[in-house]
Amino acid sequence: MPPKLKIAKTDIIDKALELVRQNGVSSINARSIASALGCSTQPIFSNFDSMEELEQSVLNAAFEKYLGFISSEIAEGKYPAYKASGMAYIRFAKEEKELFKMLFMCDRQGEELKPTVDFEASVEIIMKANGISREYASLLHLEMWVCGHGIATMLATSFLELDEELISRMLTDVYQGTRERLIREGAIDGSN
C-alpha cells in the first residue's frame, strides 16, 4: 500500500488563499481545495474540526497578508506612517482584489465588530501627531477610512483606475480638511 500523502494545515490554508485569489471567496469548500491539492477531503477534516475553522484560518491568513502590506509600506518610508497605512490598504485592494473583497467587502451583519490592530495603531498615530483625544482621533480615522475604503473598493472592483500620485493627493486633501474642521471645533490645537 502506498504511503498516505501528508498534507499540512499550512498547505491547505495556502491553497485556499490561492483559490480565493483566482475565483473569489465562494471557492472555499472542501472539494475544491482537495481537488487543487490532489487529495481527498480527508486531510482537510483531519487538520480542521470544521469548514468554519478552515474559513477562519483563511481569513486570518489573508489579514496577515494585509498587515504585511502595511508593514512594507511603512518600512519603505515614502509616506508618514499614517498615510502609508492608508496607501497600503488601497494598494492591497488593487493588488489582492479577491482577498480585499473577502476581508473588507462582505456582509458583517450579526458579527461582533471589534477594532482591529490596524485600526488601533492608526488611532494611536493620529493621537500622537495631533495631540488629540482617542475619541477625536477615532473620528478622524473613521472619516479617513471611509474615504480610503471608497477608493479601495473602486480599485478592487475595477470601477476606476487611479494612479498613486492622485490617490496620495486625495488622501491628503481629506485628512487636511478633516483636521482643519477639528481645529475650528477646538478638538485640535491649531498651533501644532
Block residue for cell numbers 475565483: 23
Cβ neighbours, 10 Å, residue 39: 18
Task: Decide: 126 and 188 in contact? Cβ < 8 Å.
Answer: no
* Domain 1-48 belongs in CATH node 2.60.40: no
Q: Is the dihedral of CA 7, 100, 68, 61 positive or negative?
A: negative
pLDDT tier at 118, thresholds 50, 70, 90 = confident
pLDDT digits (tens, 9 = 90+) for 144-169: 999 999 999 999 999 999 999 999 99
In whole angstroms, what is the distance from residue 99 CA to residue 61 CA?
Answer: 10
Is the confidence at residue 85, as pLDDT, over 70? Answer: yes
Q: How confident is the model at residue 79 (pLDDT cuts 50, 70, 90)?
A: very high
Distance CA 44, CA 178 (A): 48
Domain map (residue ranges) of the chain = 1-48, 62-184
Across residues 65-84, what is the average pLDDT? 96
Contact of 127 with 87, CB cutoff 8 Å: no
CA Rg value for the chain = 20
pLDDT tens figures, 169-180:
999 999 999 999
pLDDT in the model for residue 166 = 97
